[in-house]
Amino acid sequence: MSFRLAVLISGKGSNLRAIQEAIERGTCAGSIVAVISDRASAQGLTFAAEHGLPSSVVSVRDYPDRSAWDAALAAKVADFMPDLVVLAGFMRVVGAAFLDRFAHRVINVHPALLPLFPGTNGPEQALAAGVRVTGCTVHVVDAGVDTGPIIAQAVVRVLPDDTNDTLHERIQHAEHQLFPRVVDAIARGVVTLGAQVRMSGASDDGTILFAPLFRDGPT
């Protein structure tokens, strides 16, 4: 039976696209059984429709409070019986009802090298701090803000003339390389999620998932 993925998005769905394209190439195990957004206007829903991926919208505005929305979101995702829930540019914080239902089965990609620069505007925080490198982190989602166990990270150099937009673009490129690899490793049992992340070996090309990916050369 195929490893089932539910992907949650809020915008253009570039990481959704990266994962689906890796699945189509045969480099990412599993299949996307649901694409769920909190916004009906999310461009990623168009991509889902074009690729025959079932989709749904669970909008915060349709519920009296965040707790009710969180419970409804959890119920909708559960309808698709996913093995893994992938937050791919999902701009809402999932709550207790959701995390209880999918304990140790929710992952997220964050545009910084956690634990540095959690929360919003990771690239902007990196520029303000004057760091030489930043990157992206795939981590297990817990009740905190970007505090869950780290699965893998990719490193991106900060260039002297970087703006928030140029740096974020290169970080996203690294995300598109790393995120499908992590999903594949989880689907194949190379990585096991829990209160701690456990690895049983290396990826197919012999590299360890924690190894940095310098997209534009070392500093």
* CA gap 185, 200 in Å, rounded: 10
CA distances to 62, 153, 209 from 206, rounded to whole Å, are: 47, 16, 9
- In whole angstroms, give the CA distance from residue 122 to residue 116: 9
Contact 171, 159 (CB under 8 A): no
Q: What is the residue type of 102?
A: F
Active site residues: 110
